[in-house]
Chain A
Amino acid sequence: MKLLWLVVLFGFALPGASSELRATGDLGVVIERADGRVLIVEHTNDTRLEQIEGLGDLSHASVVFSRDQRFAYVFGRDGGLTKVDLLTSRIDKRILQSGNSIGGAISQDGKLVAVSNYTPGGVRVFNADTLELVADIPADYGGDKLSKVVGLVDAPGQRFVFSLYDADQIWIADMSDPVNPRITRFKDIGRAPYDALISPDGRYYIAGLFGDDHLALLDLWHPEQGVKPILAGYAEHDEKLPVYKMPHLEGWAMAGNKAFIPAVGQHQVLVVDTGSWKMLDKIKVHGQPVFVMARPDGRQVWVNYAHPDNDTVQVIDAETHAIIKTLKPGKAVLHMEFTPRGEKLWLSVRDDNRLQVYDTRTFEVLQELPAAKPSGIFFTDRAHRTGL
């Protein structure tokens, strides 16, 4: 009888769940951005599992995961922060925390979720369990308004690092005492930082600059040394083209001692030595790169492109820098995600309303799945990676 009650209670508590036990290590979330929906998918057999509605404006939405890989935190454009339970396929909690936001991060200890906002400009930090506000960090730089905040990442030492688009600054927020963040500010880092990334070990934070011909590097082991310009004049001798979509620096494409970075306004991928931060090579590619992502083993680098070249994906050999494959997945390839060990890659083809799964050795399409205007694809192994 007791057992029966337990079964009944469990059944009520988890209405969407099947009776079988389910782990979450091979799950993922796909954004169906036009409809305010997300798909829950799994990448062992490459299938769709569930569809969840009611997440608001998901243009430019991104996702981080709880460290137990059960919950996905979805950051929407309308300031929405939605905590989705991947096991019950339900919205666990949802708040509208600002007017206009751009992304977020989860702290090293998994207890804080931070959101970077355009309006009002700044970062808000929430309790990861309850989504209650823990700290508010307005991006007040002494101007007449607050700055838009971009490139927010988590860093070791329970820190968040982010860039101020309107103020040309990088800030570190030490959240050791969550209600009293300790802020370190770096000024004049270069004009108009538009996005940033952190190295997988959490040591280097690099901001891309829209208004300057270099990138800004902060060594988080040595913040006292300040922010340094790297790759100064990388576009000096090249024609600067109009930028139809800002590159994304989220994926740190690293292979051995090389980092692969999208050049702004150029048909190039920059190869940088991560010891000296000198340019090793510029790889001519098909269009203006948006995402430049290394396969987890670092052997290949996959690149997608801005409008009007967004029907194409290219694969670079990280060793020789040769383009070894040019794929035409379809109209408007928006995002790519490797499986945790890199044998497969999922990509979203927005205007063809589908997802494609590639074998990264043979480049064969293994699976195609329908999805409505899909954009971001996020797998749960991100839960255990710094900066993602």
Chain B
Amino acid sequence: MPDRLFHTHRWMLLLFTILSLSGKAAAVTPSTERQLELRNLLYQDCGSCHGMRLTGGLGPALTPGALRDKPRELLVTTVRDGRSGTPMPPWKQHLSDTDIEWLVDLLLELESQP
């Protein structure tokens, strides 16, 4: 019985890995409620430096044009760890990796909107 459990666990791990590697389709998405909180955080709190319409302020714009050439991984790292020498703080104390990846994907998704 413990063996079976172990196997299931391994399979799930494998599945998780595959899903993670498949890029945009993040293995875990934040709950609907959390997504609302994150959206609010993006526009309201990130917005205090990047502008509520993400057109920039003290911090750079996060609009389609501005993010066009930025790799996803760089964006994730920037949100997670901040950018030293600039006011951009690390958000890892307050946001999980799932949160951060979901936010970055949201920004990139906005890009494809007309």
Residues of chain A whose beta carbon lies under 8 Å from any beta carbon of chain B: 33-34, 57-60, 77-78, 100, 102, 118-119, 148, 150, 165, 192, 194, 210-211, 242-246, 307-308, 332, 350-351, 373
Contacts and interface: CB of A to CB of B under 8 A. Distances in A.
A308 B40 CA distance: 13
B52 A57 contact: yes
A165 B49 CA distance: 14
Contact of A332 (B44, B52, B89): B44
Contact of B57 (A58, A118, A244): A118
Contact of B40 (A150, A244, A245, A351): A351
B40 A102 contact: no
Give the interface SS of chain A, mostly helix, strand, loop or mixed.
loop
Interface residues on B, range: 20 to 34
29 contacts: A34-B52, A57-B51, A57-B55, A59-B47, A59-B53, A59-B57, A77-B51, A77-B52, A77-B53, A77-B55, A77-B57, A78-B53, A100-B55, A118-B56, A118-B57, A119-B56, A148-B58, A165-B58, A192-B87, A194-B87, A211-B85, A242-B89, A242-B90, A242-B93, A244-B45, A307-B41, A332-B44, A351-B40, A351-B44
B78 interface: no
Contacts of A351: 40, 44
Given A243-B89, A351-B40, A100 B45 contact: no
A308 B94 CA distance: 8
B57 A350 contact: no
Contacts of A307: 41, 45, 94
B77 interface: no
Interface string B59-93: 00000000000000000000000100101011001
A131 B68 CA distance: 37
A148 B82 CA distance: 21
4 closest residue pairs by CB, A with B: A242-B89, A59-B52, A307-B45, A57-B53
